[in-house]
Structure 1
Amino acid sequence: MNAQSRPIDISALAENLRGGDRAALARAITLVESVRPDHQVAARQLVQALLPHTGRAMRVGVTGVPGVGKSTTIDTLGHNLVQAGHKVAVLAVDPSSTRTGGSILGDKTRMAKLSPERNAFIRPSPSSGTLGGVAAKTRETMLLCEAAGFDVVIVETVGIGQSETTVADMTDFFLVLMLPGAGDELQGIKKGVLEIADMIAVNKSEGEGRNRAVAAAGEYRAALHIMQPASHNWSPPVVLVSGLDNIGLNEMWGQVVEHRRRFEASGEFAQKRRAQQVKWMWTMLEDRIYGRLRRDPQVKARLPELERRVAEGALSPTLAVEDLAALLGI
């Protein structure tokens, strides 16, 4: 039996991972990201085995437009947290090329402060076209990191498309980084992002940019003021930070901690986690059904003709869907 087909010892892998073995954690993440059917079966067994040892970490999503300084801010914040005694995992979901499926995995090199830390783990993973720009296995990876003892898990999004909503659905606290210069920036803010933000942090507020950052913060506060908060226990604050100069980051983290304290006290924290678990189940079911649709030999044989006829206007999309559904028996 060659190495590739040798069965994976799930118990040993789980035990090593829980013992803090970084190589075991990396192997486990590679396993859950694999598309091989036997690896997927093993990954499901591993996650199930580790489930009782998950759920205690602070899960924080971070988003912002490209160039806002997400990686620098996470690098500095993560370093602060490690120095304060936390174990920090960063899951940086990178944009994948729509043509090649490649990934820009530069986050590990950009986080120069955090990378060398023994109590930090940074894992870039390609989004590979997944809806929302979020790697399909990010939720499982988050659980693996928690089982390995990381008590803070930060998920960095690409800041485009529907990635914000997707990450907000898997984290406890959703941080939106903004740039100074509210006059222009405010025009480009999607209302949906403001509705799911638990806090807005205006980055690059050091030096000459301070005055513009203060003005921007005022604009963001005004925009949030006219919106209905998602919870009566929390009004999203707007803070000024500098990831580069480590300004305001400890105060910003204090807001994350306070948010969790309030939500745990009210019962909203447990309620949100339960709702996220159910949503995760449905997402995985939809992915499984879609995967079956794409792999079914009858569908693959029929699809080109249906697509051609729909494109030519000879067949309505509705009837084409009926045809495909009949092949699948649904």
Structure 2
Amino acid sequence: MTENQSGGKKRFVKRKKDPVSVTELKTGILNGDRSHLAKAITLIESNAEEHYAIGQELLQELLPHTGKSFRIGITGVPGAGKSTFIEQFGEMLCNEGLRVAVLAIDPSSSISGGSILGDKTRMEQLSKNPRAFVRPSPTAGTLGGVHRKTNETLLLCEAAGYDFIIIETVGVGQSEVMVRQMVDFFLLLVITGAGDELQGMKKGIMELADALLVNKADGENKPLAEKTKRELNQILHFLIPATKGWSSKAYTCSSLKNEGLIELWEVIRQFEKQTKEQGVFEERRLDQRQEWFHTMLKERILSDFFFQKSIKSSLPDMEERVKTGDYTTSQAVEVLLKQYKAGIIHMNS
């Protein structure tokens, strides 16, 4: 606090905190400090141009310390109990002496820009575990933005020393393909009643999964869960495997009773062992880096386009002309592209 005097009256002005430096963030993250990790993720998620530059500098510093975690993607139909499952599974891994980070992709409203989950506490028990880190990650728009921010957050968690990174998606949809491109093992959670479930589940989503897990297999529901497992295994037999050389299968689980978690853990460890021995694991990681490169390139070009001053000033008028029919959509796009190219030439001249 600093003291200012004006007309004999005293008032206190609170000083703004100095921003945390890249060096401080790097040191804190490498030491496993969760507060520094959270600050770095906030930086990565920011859409401000100056934050982007600092975030990329930090990532470059941390890159040599990444790549050692095992990455799991988890999705499921609404009501499948993903959060409960992840919390129990994460607790089990922590009890095994491992460190677990959970990134829950939180969709942003296309109307308000707000986040459905917002700051609501999820996985409260796991969040309190000193060996865990749980972070909702707002998508803030395009899937390209989700890909970059989630992928870079994943790298920060790896640099912080987390053994397992779990990425949870909100449901079955387009984002599942994006998550598949970031993880080593992809798990699909379903509930009993395979017939009804599969009517709303695209075949393509099942083909992404390295394992299917019928959750809530307890009490009177257990026989139905076993039936669903058998039906799913029959379907999986005819699908193209999600991972070369690996046979995807369905299993049952009860998150509430902690049943089936150890068996799933053994399946994941066998998957890791087998894919590494066959070279499939490293091959997938290399393909993912290439995919991320293309995604980053597209996002950066798009971002530069809309940040250019000439585009910012012309866009509202051009939108209005398209609405009134003065310009066709193609004509408006061509005009803006010419302005964008002219702006680049002007900057380089």
TM-score of the pair, normalised by structure 2:
0.87
State the partner residue of 2:264.
252
SS state of the match for residue 74, structure 1? Answer: helix
Whether the aligned pair in 1 keeps the contact of 2:172 and 2:205 (CA below 8 Å) is no
Equivalent position amino acid for 2:331 in 1: L
- Pair 1:21-2:30 in alignment: no
Q: 114, 128, 142: which one pairs with 1:130?
A: 142
CA-to-partner distance for each residue in 1:233-273, whole Å, 9 max, x for gaps? Answer: 10111000111221101111211111111111111111111
List aligned pairs for 1:27-176, cutoff 5 A: 27-105=39-117, 109-131=121-143, 134=146, 136-176=148-188
- Pair 1:222-2:234 in alignment: yes
Give 1:65 deviation, angstroms. Answer: 2.0
Whether the aligned pair in 1 keeps the contact of 2:83 and 2:123 (CA below 8 Å) is yes
* Alpha-carbon distance in 1 for matches of 2:90, 2:118: 17
State the partner residue of 2:201.
189
Whether the aligned pair in 1 keeps the contact of 2:144 and 2:296 (CA below 8 Å) is no
Q: 1:107 to 1:271 in 2, by over 3 A?
A: farther
State the partner residue of 2:7.
none
Equivalent position amino acid for 1:198 in 2: D
SS state of the match for residue 61, structure 1? Answer: strand
Structure 1 or 2, whichever has the larger Rg, is 2
* CA RMSD between the two structures: 2.2
State the partner residue of 2:275.
263
Whether the aligned pair in 1 keeps the contact of 2:144 and 2:299 (CA below 8 Å) is no
Please list every run of 5 or more consecutive structure 2 residues that lacks an aligned counterpart in the other structure.
1-14, 343-349
SS state of the match for residue 113, structure 1? Answer: helix
* Alpha-carbon distance in 2 for matches of 1:252, 1:313: 58
Equivalent position amino acid for 1:214 in 2: E
SS state of the match for residue 324, structure 1? Answer: helix
Give 1:10 deviation, angstroms. Answer: 1.5
Q: 1:110 to 1:183 in 2, by over 3 A?
A: same
Which deviates more, 108-117 or 281-290?
A: 108-117
Whether the aligned pair in 2 keeps the contact of 1:165 and 1:196 (CA below 8 Å) is yes
Say how many residue pairs are matched. 328
Give 1:166 deviation, angstroms. Answer: 0.7
Q: 281, 284, 295: which one pairs with 2:296?
A: 284
State the partner residue of 2:225.
213
* Alpha-carbon distance in 1 for matches of 2:324, 2:197: 42
Equivalent position amino acid for 2:296 in 1: M
Please list every run of 5 or more consecutive structure 1 residues that lacks an aligned counterpart in the other structure.
none
Q: 1:107 to 1:114 in 2, by over 3 A?
A: farther
